[in-house]
Structure 1
């Protein structure tokens, strides 16, 4: 007969009967059959049922194992706690100094919030044992009692003998919340993670502590460790976010140059820093890879920004050629239209054409003050002073006079006759 079928049969025998019938059945079944039934109930989490069987077995046989099993089932069921404590105490008087009783009484007392009794039992347990399991168990009593230093001291001994992650996390929680030892907690976590492969729970706790300490460098190094361990792109994103929070563009660039997995972000950082020659190299690389005409437009922009002499006619002709090629191939983003149109206007390559292109950009973003500034400058170049003034006045009212180019345009247009 299969185990599942045995389980089903026993569940029918014990789980579906009435209370009276259940008691009657227990009278007829052998000790071995009762043990199997109790174990089965334990496996399925039916602790109330296993409690009744172990209780009967202990009453019938007086064997200590059944008393301990009875108390364990009561603890798991969170029921019959007071009765289990009473029965254990009676047995303890007859068989003093049994460590198994201490191990059961502590959690039973804590379950019904009798913390003083739990700590008394913990003291007895510590007199009898230095086993890490017992130190761990005793620490719970002192933690409930608010004796955080004592609980932490016991957990430190447990961790020293068996450096398990879950023990460390409990220690760290106490140090963070109750004993004002956050920096020491960070040190413990950092030492542990450097010596072990750890779960995300350790990293998350580290991040929480570093955030509380407002330690951006600690957060950054933690995300780097997480990225090295899991190679998850979300951690890479967080790394860049922290670099930006620190305003450390150079650090972000150095990291991405070594990592080589997000050259798209690296490209934007090169532009933000003004390293246009490196950005140009990447734009060429991207275009070779995907043949997207946007990179042609980007190359035109970068070529102009990278030039030392912004009035170099040969350079301007190349910029115009790149932008015109990109637009002819279907690139119609208003950003590139504005850049192209403004270049034609400002460098007086073809002002009227530049005005028309800016007007196309404004169809996409009619309220964009940068585009309105470009159009005003175009009107100024062809001496349509009234139109230029109305547009530029609007730009100044919205943007103020913070940017050098706006100041230059505003001063010139106000003098326009």
Structure 2
């Protein structure tokens, strides 16, 4: 109940405002008193309230009494009860006073009396804000159908987003009619367009329903409206989750939100020229060593079938300038394996792979790199032991061409070692 009271008070506060021109002052002294009341309001709202009450006492003009009541309400003054009761007769036809009285009745817990008064206000002064107030009170009494009708009337009188969202909030949170709310929001969007607030509310409803296609559609629109990268992030997450690399690539090319992911997509789709250029320009623009390491990988992958000494030297040079700055297991392993596989510097390669394994000790691919390093050093037994430590559930690894070749080579090495030892023994 406290939250509801807080909400109704906030709602009413939004409707209250101090308007100097509303005061019909006849004398110089009266004018001075008005400005005194206004001047001290922030520093001493109590004094301001008393000034306006004194003005009412002196002039019998109800706008001063109403201003005093308003200040007491705004600042939570203890005299509010006295003042609201004092205004009951002279302000009985004033809708602004009556709205404050509704708040007063709600604070007292007199919901039915507040409802009756809200209906009276809407009849007396049929404005959007008065129908909205009626809808709020009806909602507090769980008269949801009546509240919906009142909110619709408010929207009919003033087609604002705020009035529309009250309808949606009631449909979703009080009546459980999410599908109806979505239909109404889509109709609203078609008629009035989609502001950030409306689109965000609609996106939330689609997310709650796990309607991913429509969520994506609304996030696309939200990005167009706001240019906020948070929506690019959301969209990218959806595209990657559903492996829609085409849409992810188009989004990243259009927004430059995440060049690293864009480079990886290019690599995955074997668009090596695009990947290399993007990595190169991103490194130039950001001085981020990761892009240099990516450029090295791209150059290597791009030329696997025609890897000249010159290209290999370029790849190594890029890795040398980048890997040490990154502390990244994937790059450590890739460079380490390259040094091992090409017999460039096997001990250094093993060190890099071991560094990667400290971060990911069970990675089958890193363990394979390490085993291959020891194979290259002629330590076949150690290589075999490492390969046998890989979890047999890693089916995709064991089915890979590289794993099959390495296992076969290590087994052949062991066989040759066994045959050699056997021959030596027989020779003795």
TM-score (norm 1): 0.73
| Distance apart, 1:253 and its partner CA | 0.9
Could you tell me which residue of structure 1 aligns to residue 379 of structure 2?
384
Moved more, 382-391 or 292-301: 292-301
Deviations 1:247-282 (A, max 9, x none): 322211122233456444311222244444532443
Could you tell me which residue of structure 2 aligns to residue 324 of structure 1?
316
Look up the SS of the partner of 2:88 in the other structure. Answer: helix
Report 1:188-337 matches (<5 A): 188-189=184-185, 195=192, 198-199=195-196, 201-260=197-256, 262-283=258-279, 285-286=281-282, 298-299=294-295, 301-303=297-299, 305-306=301-302, 312=305, 314-315=306-307, 320-327=312-319, 332=324, 335=330
Could you tell me which residue of structure 2 aligns to residue 72 of structure 1?
70
| Distance apart, 1:240 and its partner CA | 1.5
Q: Distance in 1 between matches of 2:38 and 2:282?
A: 65
Q: Distance in 1 between matches of 2:97 and 2:320?
A: 87
Look up the SS of the partner of 1:89 in the other structure. Answer: coil
97, 106, 109: which one pairs with 1:113?
109
Deviations 1:379-413 (A, max 9, x none): 4456532121122223x148744412345534553
| Distance apart, 1:150 and its partner CA | 1.9
Look up the SS of the partner of 1:180 in the other structure. Answer: coil
Q: Does 1:362 align with 2:361?
A: no
Q: Distance in 1 between matches of 2:379 and 2:293?
A: 30
Distance 1:80 1:354, change over 3 A: same
Could you tell me which residue of structure 2 aligns to residue 130 of structure 1?
126
| Distance apart, 1:120 and its partner CA | 0.8
Deviations 1:195-252 (A, max 9, x none): 35735x4454344333322233344334333332333334333332232233322211
Look up the SS of the partner of 2:246 in the other structure. Answer: helix
Could you tell me which residue of structure 2 aligns to residue 26 of structure 1?
none
Could you tell me which residue of structure 1 aligns to residue 406 of structure 2?
409
Q: Distance in 1 between matches of 2:331 and 2:90?
A: 88
Q: Distance in 2 between matches of 1:391 and 1:232?
A: 49
Q: Distance in 2 between matches of 1:293 and 1:36?
A: 65
Unaligned runs of 5+ in 2: 1-27, 416-428
Asked if 2 retains the 8 angstrom alpha-carbon contact of 1:300 and 1:320, the reply is no
Q: Does 1:48 align with 2:46?
A: yes
Q: Distance in 2 between matches of 1:180 and 1:186?
A: 12
Report 1:140-219 matches (<5 A): 140-189=136-185, 195=192, 198-199=195-196, 201-219=197-215
Deviations 1:278-314 (A, max 9, x none): 324434555777898976764553355456xx6x4x3
Q: Distance in 2 between matches of 1:105 and 1:330?
A: 71
| Distance apart, 1:117 and its partner CA | 1.1
Q: Does 1:88 align with 2:87?
A: yes
Q: Distance in 2 between matches of 1:214 and 1:275?
A: 33
Asked if 2 retains the 8 angstrom alpha-carbon contact of 1:301 and 1:319, the reply is no
| Distance apart, 1:317 and its partner CA | 5.1
Asked if 2 retains the 8 angstrom alpha-carbon contact of 1:379 and 1:385, the reply is yes
Asked if 2 retains the 8 angstrom alpha-carbon contact of 1:335 and 1:361, the reply is no
Distance 1:148 1:204, change over 3 A: same
Look up the SS of the partner of 1:44 in the other structure. Answer: coil
Look up the SS of the partner of 1:247 in the other structure. Answer: coil
Could you tell me which residue of structure 1 aligns to residue 5 of structure 2?
none
Deviations 1:35-75 (A, max 9, x none): 3333334x427443333333344344433333333332333
